Structure 1
């Protein structure tokens, strides 16, 4: 059975195709799309900072650093996009990232006799598997409690956020793992492909493309939109809503595990204190990219743009010597504007 998202939840070209939408003129479709407007905001920011500091902002090195700094958050945000489209939320991804990185670090440390610095790729591969399994287990716990036990996502993931962070701290007595294979840091964290493309960015791009393919071209993606639009309607149409929600949270945990391993490779440490707000950053990036908190609407392209807006603001403010506090204000304003625009669009659509 093929199920598509109802047309009423498809106001932009980035969402699942709706019947009749393709008949609209291209210009009207672009103007009505969330992705179009948020992309204009990002473009305006790039142009402003390029005009203010062209010698510092518009450089290859700055672009590389910008891409590297957003890679881990982008992987988290891809998973968050699926969750929010189903009208859910996951506050635990930052803690799961920390836990997965800690499990990977401790695993590689144990296999190397307490010092993983000289470990080879066999040990690194086992560390990767451990991180992915650790993240997926937390995704399974979230999915079971939300989809099967029927507990609200906000409560479940608020609880697992604290539990995953506490478990990570217990694994190493509250301190970071700092013994990381040199090969992992040099070849993945700081390595490049084709001479200029950081390997960390390459992996994030591949994951993002797979996420876009999964969301926009497969039955899994169509079911995700349908569940977020109307869970009861999707159930009556023959979709296993419980099983699908379980898979969505599994996917989010899986990606958080990968993000934890990528972070470990780049920072050469678990950097517990550096990820405490990753959950909120992922939610903010996803919502700024046009994914509706009410469910049924969203796109991976929008999420990519949403990830880069705060990153460009931070980089631009640092280069132009503007206090970081202004970045927080600017990101907050963009986030509120994105939610306001979404509510306004929903009210206009429902009044028809």
Structure 2
């Protein structure tokens, strides 16, 4: 068997037992023959289903799910006439769907121990590319909207490839690279529009905005498709396994035959692609480019991803956890708005939640290293 064909998980498991699975905690099993292991499990009285259930209950997504429910209950008690209503819940889901798309890409990058601060600016840049393209193509058909979508995706991928190139080839740390891209993408977006928002008057875009399917607009179902595909690829495919292995130990991944640099470039391209898609979704949602409205997107997305159980140090995380985690800052912000709390305090709350989430991630990491 050639080096490239070997399953890198088997190589990493020798030196890093936690790299082969996206679960929060590694399961220690008795050593010996398969029969000895089976006998030990039988003697313990714990079935595989019970073990999996216990692991799920003790995971970060389960804890954060309880926190999310508690937040919803508290704000429902404080604002019973407005917060738990069907209209507000729908708005929460619609607003969160845009963050969810970006958070899916961020989960991939962070599982591989990367970072991407540029997603909010890339969203704005991609939206402006879309509007400019639709104006250039002309017409009001779905074909024009499709051309705008393609431009948004290309614009997002371009920034993702740039980030990946700087991180892998130029060896610029991801934090510095994406911080620079954050400013550069937003600056170019302002140059393209002279700092002014551009409204979208496409009738096809308006149809996408007002036409609901099963009580929800199209962008919600699009976000659901992205989450399902992203979660399945990360958990069940070789591409996903390689992502976990790189985040756990990139040097061991290289020795196992993985082209780490090439894989990282793909991950940043995915993050850029989904930020571009989120830019198009934002256009559908607001009918304008909202240049100044996405400065805190990276903070919200990174907070949600870490709250969902993805480690800041790589090697751990799931898209399912991200789905739960990303709702926490959006529910918190929505509830504080209804409590007439100033927007400045909303940013303070989300910022401190991020610090607390990173601190808890460090505690879990130290616990894993001791086992």
Same fold (TM > 0.5) = yes
Q: Which residue of 1 aligns with 2:7?
A: 2
Instruction: Tell me the CA shift for residue 203 of structure 1.
Output: 0.7
On the 8 A contact 2:305/2:325 being kept in 1, the answer is yes
1:190 to 2:210 alignment: yes
Q: Per the alignment, do residues 85 and 148 of structure 1 end up closer, same or farther by CA in structure 2, a change over 3 Å counting?
A: same
Higher-Rg member (1/2):
2
- C-alpha distance in structure 1 between counterparts of 2:339 and 2:329, whole Å: 15
Secondary structure of 1:177's aligned partner: coil
Q: What does residue 351 of structure 1 align with?
A: 370
Runs of 5+ consecutive residues of structure 1 not aligned to the other structure? 113-117
Q: Provide the residue aligned with 1:295 in structure 2.
A: 314
1:174 to 191, 195, 201: 195
Q: Which structure 2 residue ranges, 5 or more long, are not aligned?
A: 1-5, 31-46
Mapped pair 1:82 → 2:108: yes
CA distance, structure 1, for counterparts of residue 185 and residue 100 of structure 2: 21
Aligned residue for 2:41? none
- Quick one: structure 1 residues 81 and 223, their matched pair in 2 at CA, closer, same or farther if it must change by over 3 Å? same
Contact 2:61 2:309 in 1 (8 A): yes
Match of 2:285 in 1: 266
- Aligned match of 2:79: 53
Decide which moves more: 47-56 or 73-82. Answer: 47-56
CA–CA distance in structure 1, aligned partners of residues 337 and 283 of structure 2: 25
Deviation track 1:201-241 (CA, whole Å, cap 9, x = no partner) reads: 11111111111011111111111110000000011111111
Counterpart mapping for 1:110-125 below 5 A: 110-112=136-138, 119-125=140-146
RMSD, aligned α-carbons:
2.4
After superposition, what is the alpha-carbon deviation per residue over 1:37-58, rounded to whole angstroms, capped at 9, x for unaligned? Answer: 1111111111222233333222
Matched residues in 2 for 1:27 and 1:123: separation?
Answer: 49
- Structure 1 residues 159 and 329, CA gap change in structure 2 (3 angstroms): closer
1:131 corresponding residue in structure 2: 152
Mapped to 1, the partners of 2:152 and 2:137 lie a distance apart of: 14
Q: Which residue of 2 aligns with 1:115?
A: none
Name the TM-score, length of structure 1 as normaliser: 0.90
CA contact (8 A) 2:22 2:317 kept: no
Give distance in 2, aligned partners of 1:13 and 1:20. 17
Aligned match of 2:266: 247
The residue number in structure 2 matching 1:206 is 225
Whether the aligned pair in 2 keeps the contact of 1:16 and 1:222 (CA below 8 Å) is no
Q: TM-score, normalised by structure 2?
A: 0.86
Structure 1 Cα separation of the partners of residues 21 and 341 of structure 2: 35
Match of residue 42 from structure 2 = none
Equivalent residue number for residue 158 of structure 1: 179
